Structure 1
Amino acid sequence: MLKKIALAASLFSATALASNAVQADVKIGLLGGISGPIAAMAPPMLDAAQLAFQQVNEQGGILGGQKIEAVVGDSACNPQNGVDSATKLVNIEQVVGLVGPHCSGSVLAVANSVTVPAGITLITPSGTSPEITSLEDKGQVFRTVPSDDFQGRSLARTLLDLGTKKVAVAYLNNDYGSGLANAFKVEFEANGGELAGYAAHEEGKASYRSNLAELSRGGAETLVIFDYGDGTGLTILRQALENGFFTNFLGGDGMKSDAIIRELGAENLTTFTASSPVGEKSDSLESFNEAYKAAGGNPDAIFVSNSYDAAFLMALALEKAGGDAAKVSAAMTAVSNGEGESVGPGEWTKAAELIAAGKDIDYKGASGDLNFNKAGDVPGSYGLFKVEGDAFALQQALN
């Protein structure tokens, strides 16, 4: 009987250890627009985030040797899909932090319905709507990309500086499109620009020729498109080119998609430019670029440095918080507020040792210094890109 009890105890102990081993992985959600209007953009962004987690795991892991397990979900760049996927990640997969969603409408819906009520910190690499700034989020929502209030106004000023005083604007009727268009409109008109046309459009129609014909009646030669280059934005640009409605075209960051070059051809895009966030030259950016290239990625792809930073920051914040999800939001600010010893991309061992020693760290990201304000927003820089060959090339910085 004693032998049986001892054997049972031994088996129970082994089972418990096995269970603990299974539970030792730290789950972090990656919620991207894998399907839907940014489907071509999402994979490089997810790869960049996975690179950050891979570096952590290769350098001893998180929270005393545990491994980060990335659990991927698809928001389809849609609020309801985002909520459904986030609910699964938080309630079933039990993630302790969320990197994403990629699209603004999903960020707003997921924060309000899932992560804030659950006390889970969310950091998006590409949710740019100004509405995110004013979320009642208890300090739990962050982003590593500037607000579209900044992008829209910068685009307006840059166009005016280039001598373009009259434009028409076509924008997707969602949180991303309307937020960016409104910021552009306010700044453009306040500085003497004229909007010859300004109209929202719905997603997924086969033809936008009537919309474009109406916008062109104001006599503008330039059409500004705030939409996604993998979706409706591509259709609008194609039909505008085919019908000669406009001569010049400017897209927001959602239009900087390789799908446009692939589908329309570089020879037809000589008058098309698009904006995109750009990291300032730094050792951190160079370090990320080298690591991402070595992993097979293209560091010029949109939002990849922002995605890497979001994932690495989430890992740093979890380490600082000791794995306590309730303390991650405060830790997110603490590891990047400009105080303490500088830590760059990939320097996980250094960061973990400093945190263990009770010392402050300051993460210097590939996309910038990332000093969050009270709303979880960051400053940043945007550039204007032209099509050269089979890729986008930086033309100039936005002012």
Structure 2
Amino acid sequence: MQKMNAAFALALATLAVGFLAAACDNTAPSNTPGNGGSATTKGLKIGSLLPATGDLASIGQQMIPAVPFLVETVNACGGVNGEPVTLVPVDDQTDPKGGAAGMTKLATVDRVAGVVGSFASSVSTAAVSIAAQNKVMLISPGSTSPVFTEQAKQGKFKGFWARTVPPDSYQGPALATLANKRGYKRVSTVVINNDYGVGFEKAFVQAFKKLGGTVANENNPVRYDPKATTFESEASAAFAGKPDAVLGVFYVETGSLLLKAAYQQGLLQGVQVMLTDGMKSDEFPGQVGKTNDGKYIGSGIIGTVPGSNGKALAALTKLWQSKKGGSPGEFAPQAWDATALLVLAAQAAKENTGVGIANKIREVSNAPGTEVTDVCEGLKLLQQGKDINYQGASGNVDVDENGDVVGIYDVWTVGDDGKIKTIDKVSPK
């Protein structure tokens, strides 16, 4: 009897393993949106893979609402291919492992056709290979590493990658131009040690040297571990020799700790701190803290961030005010445009699949075609078989063969009151 029970248990276990293997199989069957076939469920299904928690949560939470806002707008005017759009949101935790797990879930369990994400370049690096393997179109509203351009040229993404934010091969030179205009001759760098930080550092160093500047620590760059919690040695090394300015390429949580460490060591006096889009959060001045006399330590810091000057920005701002109050959060226009491109491309393809979206992304984002800023108008024209050229909230979002767009950059600063304000614009030279 015991032998029979054991045999029966083994058979059940074997059957269970078989079911589990089938459920976890990463190879999407031919009739699922994930691999570009025809969808088994009605309607377009998309996902978002953005940082609701982790080092970039303060920025993620500013842009995440743009995705459901776009989906709600589209569904109110009839959806895509005659059916409502379904959104599956996932928190990537600002972590490559979390991003890979989230992308795997979206592609193989939820069977989405496209994904808005991720924000951090390191997370998108982890996610994009999974997206391409499963034929899911991934459009990032914030990953700026130049590495994506290089890999796209090599054909690694098979067309399943794009971004609505320009790469740091543009932002690095833009910040170098700003430094040069302000008369900084000798600059040091300190960056987060990932694709974003190192890629930006490389672009800035090359551009700044071409403009006649000197990068004081070029031969001994300061790069910190993304999971570090103390930064005294990195701050000391970056500010050594008192350069005219220090370029910091950070994420909010860790960058704030590094700047606080620099202040506590008395290193900020007389040195201009320059930051990038990864630190453009209303929360960071408060996280860095105040001096003993109540002034914000970050007062006077300057930085750059991809600007938003698109023709659709006014309409997005009006919608945002009606739903949340205030203006669209940081990178919300880029997230809105990424979502818009997914739905418009699916309508142009007349199919709710990743392959269909990938094949039509450039067609709906570039000339020729009727220029449209309203997504519903674009969908209507596409239903009529007409060509469109979507003009987004962040900009024209003309996606090139590498999935890149070109943009301008806002120059921002931290005021004495701890508030961040835009003071200028700068373009890469």
TM-score by length of structure 1 reads: 0.89
Deviation for aligned residue 1:168: 1.4
242-251 or 292-301, larger mean C-alpha shift = 292-301
CA distance in 2, matches of 1:62, 1:369: 22
Deviation for aligned residue 1:40: 0.9
CA distance in 2, matches of 1:380, 1:105: 22
Partner of 2:28: none
| Matched residue SS, 2:403 | coil
Per-residue CA distance 1:122-143 (angstroms, 9 max, x = gap): 1000010001112211111000
297-306 or 72-81, larger mean C-alpha shift = 297-306
2:263 counterpart of 1:236 = no
2:276 counterpart of 1:252 = yes
CA distance in 1, matches of 2:207, 2:311: 34
What letter is aligned with 1:94? R
Counterpart among 268, 272, 278 of residue 297 in structure 2:
268
Contact 2:286 2:296 in 1 (8 A): no
What letter is aligned with 1:239? A
CA distance in 2, matches of 1:242, 1:309: 41
CA distance in 1, matches of 2:259, 2:370: 47
Partner of 2:340: 312
Partner of 2:98: 81
Counterpart among 54, 57, 73 of residue 72 in structure 2:
54
Partner of 2:380: 353
Query: Cα distance 1:80–1:297, how it changes in 2: closer, same or farther (>3 A)?
Result: farther
Deviation for aligned residue 1:395: 1.2
Query: Cα distance 1:391–1:319, how it changes in 2: closer, same or farther (>3 A)?
Result: farther
CA distance in 1, matches of 2:355, 2:226: 38
What letter is aligned with 1:109? A
Per-residue CA distance 1:275-325 (angstroms, 9 max, x = gap): 111122x54221111112222154353211001100111111111112233
Deviation for aligned residue 1:240: 1.2
2:200 counterpart of 1:200 = no
CA distance in 1, matches of 2:404, 2:325: 27
Partner of 2:353: 324
139-148 or 218-227, larger mean C-alpha shift = 218-227
Counterpart among 237, 242, 247 of residue 219 in structure 1:
242
CA distance in 1, matches of 2:419, 2:323: 20
Partner of 2:21: none
2:61 counterpart of 1:43 = yes
CA distance in 1, matches of 2:306, 2:263: 26
CA distance in 2, matches of 1:369, 1:143: 12
Contact 1:317 1:329 in 2 (8 A): yes
Contact 1:34 1:75 in 2 (8 A): yes
Contact 2:299 2:418 in 1 (8 A): no
| Matched residue SS, 2:71 | helix
CA distance in 2, matches of 1:121, 1:23: 18
**Aligned-CA RMSD value:** 1.7
Contact 1:196 1:219 in 2 (8 A): no
What letter is aligned with 2:280? K
2:216 counterpart of 1:191 = no
CA distance in 2, matches of 1:297, 1:132: 35
Contact 2:43 2:81 in 1 (8 A): no
Partner of 2:411: 384
| Matched residue SS, 2:365 | coil
Partner of 1:3: none
CA distance in 2, matches of 1:102, 1:52: 18
239-248 or 45-54, larger mean C-alpha shift = 239-248
2:362 counterpart of 1:333 = yes
CA distance in 2, matches of 1:254, 1:34: 15
CA distance in 1, matches of 2:396, 2:347: 19
Which residues of 2 match residues 92-131 of structure 1 at below 5 A? Answer: 92-112=109-129, 114-131=130-147
Contact 1:384 1:397 in 2 (8 A): yes
CA distance in 2, matches of 1:209, 1:199: 12
| Matched residue SS, 1:366 | coil
| Matched residue SS, 1:204 | coil
CA distance in 2, matches of 1:185, 1:318: 40
TM-score by length of structure 2 reads: 0.83
Contact 1:277 1:302 in 2 (8 A): no
Contact 1:299 1:305 in 2 (8 A): no
What letter is aligned with 2:222? A
Partner of 2:36: none
Partner of 1:373: 400
CA distance in 1, matches of 2:256, 2:421: 19
Q: How many positions carry a matched residue from both structures? A: 372
2:181 counterpart of 1:161 = yes
Counterpart among 75, 82, 88 of residue 71 in structure 1:
88
CA distance in 2, matches of 1:161, 1:120: 43
Partner of 1:13: none
Partner of 1:284: 312
Partner of 1:11: none
Deviation for aligned residue 1:252: 0.9
Deviation for aligned residue 1:337: 0.8
CA distance in 2, matches of 1:62, 1:297: 28
Partner of 1:18: none
What letter is aligned with 2:386? K
Structure 2: any 5+ residue segments left out of the alignment? 1-39
Deviation for aligned residue 1:261: 2.2
| Matched residue SS, 1:396 | strand
Contact 2:51 2:91 in 1 (8 A): yes
CA distance in 2, matches of 1:293, 1:391: 20
CA distance in 2, matches of 1:214, 1:52: 45
Per-residue CA distance 1:54-87 (angstroms, 9 max, x = gap): 10011112211x2112101122222222111100
